[in-house]
Amino acid sequence: MIYGIGVDVVDLPRFERALTRTPALRPRLFAEEEYRLNGRELPPRSLAGRFAAKEALIKAFGESAGINWHDMRVVSDANRNPHFVLAGAAAELADARGITSVHLSISHDAGIAIAYVIAEMAGS
């Protein structure tokens, strides 16, 4: 059963300017495993998608109380498909709400990144 759905968009040029203007933003928003792949840093469009994913997750959960950016890490599997690794307050909130799985889709094109999240709970 669907618990919640979230969607978010990020303006790519604006996000890239923010990363350039404030270098400390990258480690504040992302764990190293999120912004590096095989030893190289991901491009800003990929990070924008991951940021949109985190915002969409908060919307799907319905709140963000106590959750920090590193509690909801977006990583890629062996096929480069994105998924969440929840920890801390994000994992606790998911457990408290009965959320058993989180589905994620990310795309970027035409100057925007978009992420779509479905939070699912057990049941009929």
- Quick: pLDDT tens for 4-38: 999 999 999 999 999 999 999 999 999 988 988 77
Average pLDDT, the chain: 94
End-to-end CA distance of the chain: 6
Are 120 and 3 in contact, with CB atoms under 8 Å apart? yes
pTM, full prediction: 0.94
- Quick: pLDDT tens for 45-84: 999 999 999 999 999 999 988 999 999 999 988 888 999 9
Give residue for tokens 């959960």.
61
Q: What is the pLDDT of residue 36?
A: 84
Are 33 and 75 in contact, with CB atoms under 8 Å apart? yes
Q: Does 3 score more than 70 pLDDT?
A: yes
Q: Does 122 score more than 90 pLDDT?
A: no
Q: Which amino acid is at 23?
A: P
Are 99 and 3 in contact, with CB atoms under 8 Å apart? yes
Q: What is the pLDDT of residue 72?
A: 97
CATH number listed for the domain at residues 2-81+98-121 = 3.90.470.20
Residue 72 sits at the vertex; the CA angle it makes with 103 and 40, to the nearest 5 degrees, is 95
Q: What is the pLDDT of residue 124?
A: 54
Structural domain boundaries in the chain: 2-81+98-121
Nearest alpha-carbon partner for 113 in 121, 105, 101: 105
DSSP state of 42: P
